[in-house]
Amino acid sequence: MIKDKFLMTSDIRVRFAPSNTGHLHIGGARTALFNWFFAKHHAGTAILRIEDTDRQRSTEEYYDAILEAFEWLGLEWDEGPYRQSNRMDLYQEAAEKLLSSGAAFRCTCTPEEVNAMRERARAKGKTPKYDGTCRDRYEKEPNVPFCLRLRAADTGETIVDDILAGEVVFENSQLDDMVIVRTDGMPTYNFCVAVDDIDMRISHVIRGNDHLSNTPKQVLVYQALQEATPKFAHISMILGSDKKRLSKRHGADSVLEYKERGFLPEALINYLVRLGWSHGDQEIFSKDEIIANFALENLNRSAAIFNPEKLLWLNQEYIKSADGGFLVDSLDAGLRKQGLPPDVLSRKTREGIVDELRTRSSTLVDMIEGARFFFEDDIELDEKAASKFLTSESSELMLKLRNELNKIDAFSSENVKSAFHRVMDEEAVKLGKLAQPVRVAITGGTISPGIFETLSLLGRDRSLYRLDAALGRVNQ
């Protein structure tokens, strides 16, 4: 969308904050999309922040892959990517502030001891949580390692005001004295999130529903830091066909994998956004249309099941109306990947090929597969089709057609059609009798675009060569 230069940037600031412990998967992408469209709709600022405080599992490969995925999707972030690992000073400063104000305390309990506490509480039928052993043990022994915990209230309640869920009340008795800085000095997720969101002046936190239960913990950090909370919107999640959380088991769920499988970014975006969001009966939206109409209020609160068939349908819709040049480029790249040179046929011809294939391909991969035979020197015949259609009976017809094709002037689909009709009239056969054997001879199989167009696109030389090869086979 062209930015209206008269439109002032609003105070709306949102962030998408994935961890680089895995690929950007479609669930995360949808969350990112909601954030991004919300920001654009309000002429606000969309920020990308990588949460890489997990030293064990974060990798640079995933970091790069996440950026690559966004690049492919065509989502540009107004700020970032910020990385939490570069912002340690900020967290340390906040932690010290909390320590000196008494909101946080040093805890020398070992993980084993804390686990034991939780077990004891569980055995008594109570909420398993840290028991507060170190809360008031202010004199600490030197050389004993410690972590920092945030002192949680034992009574009362913490209310999360959510745009979608309304006021959600959590009993403070459920809350733990959570660790905000680990023994190794690394700050923890729930702490960094709040500190960063404050520092980045985030106005709306839009994230998955799985974070709702975490929110009161973060609210506690805001309160301890004496900062106002942002507005929250916890969106529904995407589930697999088994109604379980999306995972590797459901197949390809990384965004980049959809690229590999021949999906167009516009189609993926359209599909993902429509999961939970709608605008009347409209199914197909350009980015600009989504920007114009997106509103958090229209978001569905219930989980959505990922439906690959509908994505496929949408993808084909996008392929049907895609720019021809783009499709040719995609075709060329796909062919080269398989070691087939695209330029055995002219670019104009390839444009004709993708035009024939666009109504027959639900993915770019399908399209390339459907175009293979145009570019192979020697096609592979499907045995079943060959034995059914390449018979001595059909070979006579094909031979006649071959001679007619050899005579025609320009090898246009119209002229090819005339050639067919001359043979059909002469032999008093219907088109089907002639077309299927020719199709098998030309394409190797029984499925292809219209036979006149196919021959015309393939060109006279290659067409006759293949016809001859098929004829030779029958006569053997």
Partner RNA sequence: GGCCCCUUCGUCUAGCGGUCAGGACACCGGCCUCUCACGCCGGUAACAGGGGUUCGAGUCCCCUAGGGGUCACCA
Residue 242: CB minimum distance to RNA, A: 7
What is the token pair recorded at 381?
């015949």
Q: Which is nearer to RNA, 359 or 403 (CB)?
A: 359
Which residue out of 126, 140, 248, 384 is catalytically annotated?
248
Residue 246: CB minimum distance to RNA, A: 9
What is the token pair recorded at 72?
């492919």
Taking every pair of Cα atoms in the chain, the longest distance, rounded to a whole number of angstroms, is 107
- With 0-12 / 13-18 / 19 or more C-beta atoms within 10 angstroms meaning exposed / middle / buried, residue 155 is exposed
Three-state DSSP class for residue 234: strand
Residue 390: CB minimum distance to RNA, A: 15
Q: Which is nearer to RNA, 126 or 347 (CB)?
A: 126
Q: Which is nearer to RNA, 89 or 112 (CB)?
A: 112
Distance CA 104, CA 179 (A): 9
Residue 335: CB minimum distance to RNA, A: 20
What is the token pair recorded at 332?
């060329």
Q: Around Cβ 19, how many Cβ atoms within 10 Å?
A: 18
Distance CA 253, CA 249 (A): 9
Distance CA 338, CA 375 (A): 11
Q: Which is nearer to RNA, 52 or 266 (CB)?
A: 52
430 is catalytic: no
Distance CA 254, CA 28 (A): 9
Residue 187: CB minimum distance to RNA, A: 8
Q: Which is nearer to RNA, 49 or 204 (CB)?
A: 49
H or E element: which one contains 80? strand 79-83
153 in Cβ contact with 173 (< 8 Å): no
Residue 64: CB minimum distance to RNA, A: 17
178 in Cβ contact with 217 (< 8 Å): yes
Q: Which is nearer to RNA, 9 or 86 (CB)?
A: 86
277: nearest Cα among 264, 296, 305, 258: 296
Supply the residues annotated as catalytic.
248
